[in-house]
């Protein structure tokens, strides 16, 4: 195996006194697509944010062979394009100007765009079928269009690594697939390494080469979708009954059912059903048997995929909201 494009080695993060990521060790092979999945508050977003250099962490992060701590902010911005779940769109900014901001890593101290920067921006807008939108204001676009604009900003950065936090959370099924297929195509064209966090397990099972489950701040399982996305894992970490269908090519489709106990007797209290479940089928290779950190989200008897976009999880999502 070649040198990993990204490697987290024993990375831990404490935010405002709350441990959010524990001793995470994970590697992303160059040219592959890794999807980080896990219940709300599992630490997925925080783990990918450590790549941006603005989250204090212990342990070591390696980005394409460079020690993360030795990379300057500028060098890092040329290796890795990071798209947050809720990008800050400056009020009133135009599509072209916004995408052009992605060229800042290639500009001087005064951040003045050159003709090359403008040409790159136009080329990427054309590639994403956004050239008709160049004059529009970003805040007037639909969710799907806006997501493509944000993706365009990351692509003009011309980095070998593309990291997307929940790229499709706000989109309907059709637009989700459209954006993901686009990422898949461009990844092939440019030989990019892609890391995404996703809530939709089927998305992870269809698009990723590797899937990593995070729970309670730990990486508890890593592997090919068909290996990791099993009813046992999903039951253990999300607290739902799942049916996993594996295609011939290894892609996994996950569908989630209403819990059997709930269906059998509608008046069973939720707490009781949680208790029943927690004993069932935890056979993952991870260490979820260990003591859960205080901020570990309580599994909910609801389908996490159907939660509204940007839903609030106890620990990590709160600080994400503050960031906006």
Partner 1 sequence: MALATPAPAARRAAADHVGDLPDTTRLRAGWLLAGLGAVALATVVGVVSGPVGLPIGGTVAELADHLPFVDVDSGLTDAQRAIIWDIRAPRVVLGLLVGALLAGAGAGYQGVFRNPLADPFLLGIAAGAGLGATLAIVGGWGDGAGAFDAVPLAAFVGALVAVGVAATLSGRPGRTGTPATLILAGVAVASFFTAVQTYVQQRHADTLRQVYSWILGTLSTSGWDEVLVLVPYVAVCGAVLLAAIGPLDVLAVGDDEATSLGVRPARIRALVLVAASLATAAAVAVSGLIGFVGLIVPHAVRQVAGITHRRVVPLSMLFGGAFLALADVLARTVQSPAELPIGVITAFIGAPFFLFILRSHPVAS
CA distance 179 to 301: 29
We find the least distance from the C-beta atom of residue 242 to partner 1, in angstroms, to be: 33
For partner 1, which is the closer residue by CB, 112 or 265?
112
For partner 1, which is the closer residue by CB, 104 or 224?
104
We find the least distance from the C-beta atom of residue 15 to partner 1, in angstroms, to be: 12
| First CA to last CA distance, the chain | 39
We find the least distance from the C-beta atom of residue 27 to partner 1, in angstroms, to be: 21
For partner 1, which is the closer residue by CB, 22 or 120?
120
For partner 1, which is the closer residue by CB, 60 or 190?
190
Task: Name the DSSP letter for residue 81.
Answer: E
CA distance 265 to 54: 49
For partner 1, which is the closer residue by CB, 178 or 292?
178
We find the least distance from the C-beta atom of residue 310 to partner 1, in angstroms, to be: 14
**Helix or strand holding residue 254 (H, E):** strand 252-257
Strands (DSSP E) found in 166-217: 193-197, 210-215
The residues facing 164 across adjacent strands are: 83, 196
We find the least distance from the C-beta atom of residue 211 to partner 1, in angstroms, to be: 24
We find the least distance from the C-beta atom of residue 44 to partner 1, in angstroms, to be: 16
For partner 1, which is the closer residue by CB, 87 or 231?
87
Nearest alpha-carbon partner for 249 in 282, 290, 288, 205: 205
For partner 1, which is the closer residue by CB, 164 or 229?
164
CA distance 33 to 196: 8
The two beta strands, 252-257 and 218-223, are: unpaired
Task: Name the DSSP letter for residue 208.
Answer: -
The two beta strands, 58-63 and 66-67, are: antiparallel
Nearest alpha-carbon partner for 172 in 305, 54, 51, 24: 305
The site for partner 1 (CB under 8 A) is made up of 49, 52-54, 73-74, 76-78, 80-82, 84, 87-94, 96-97, 100-102, 104-105, 107, 109-113, 115, 118-119, 122-124, 126-127, 131, 134-135, 157-158, 160, 189-191, 322-324
We find the least distance from the C-beta atom of residue 103 to partner 1, in angstroms, to be: 9
Give the number of other CB atoms < 10 A from CB of residue 319.
16
């Amino acid at each position: 195996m070649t040198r990993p494009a990204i490697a987290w080695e024993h990375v831990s993060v404490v935010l405002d006194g709350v441990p959010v990521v524990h001793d995470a060790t994970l590697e992303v092979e160059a040219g592959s697509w890794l999807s980080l999945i896990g219940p709300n508050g599992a630490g997925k977003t925080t783990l990918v944010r450590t790549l941006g250099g603005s989250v204090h962490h212990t342990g070591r992060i390696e980005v394409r062979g460079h020690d993360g701590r030795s990379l300057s902010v500028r060098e890092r911005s040329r290796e890795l394009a990071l798209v947050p779940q809720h990008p800050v769109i400056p009020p009133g900014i135009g599509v072209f100007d916004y995408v052009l901001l992605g060229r800042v890593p290639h500009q001087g101290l005064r951040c003045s765009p050159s003709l090359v920067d403008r040409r790159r921006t136009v080329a990427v807008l054309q590639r994403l079928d956004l050239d008709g939108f160049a004059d529009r204001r970003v805040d007037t676009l639909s969710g799907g269009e806006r997501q493509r604009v944000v993706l365009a900003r990351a692509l003009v950065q011309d980095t070998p690594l593309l990291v997307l936090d929940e790229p499709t959370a706000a989109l309907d099924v059709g637009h989700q697939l459209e954006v993901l297929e686009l990422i898949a195509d461009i990844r092939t064209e440019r030989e990019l390494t892609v890391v995404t966090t996703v809530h939709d397990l089927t998305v992870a099972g269809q698009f990723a080469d590797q899937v990593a489950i995070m729970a309670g701040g730990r990486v508890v399982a890593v592997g090919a979708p068909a290996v990791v996305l099993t009813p046992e894992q999903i039951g253990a970490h999300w607290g739902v009954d799942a049916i996993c269908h594996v295609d011939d090519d290894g892609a996994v489709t996950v569908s989630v059912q209403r819990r059997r106990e709930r269906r059998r007797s509608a008046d069973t209290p939720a707490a009781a059903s949680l208790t029943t479940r927690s004993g069932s089928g935890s056979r993952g290779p991870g260490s979820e048997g260990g003591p859960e950190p205080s901020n570990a989200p309580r599994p909910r008897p609801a389908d996490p995929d159907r939660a509204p976009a940007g839903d609030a999880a106890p620990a990590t999502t709160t600080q994400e909201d503050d960031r906006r």
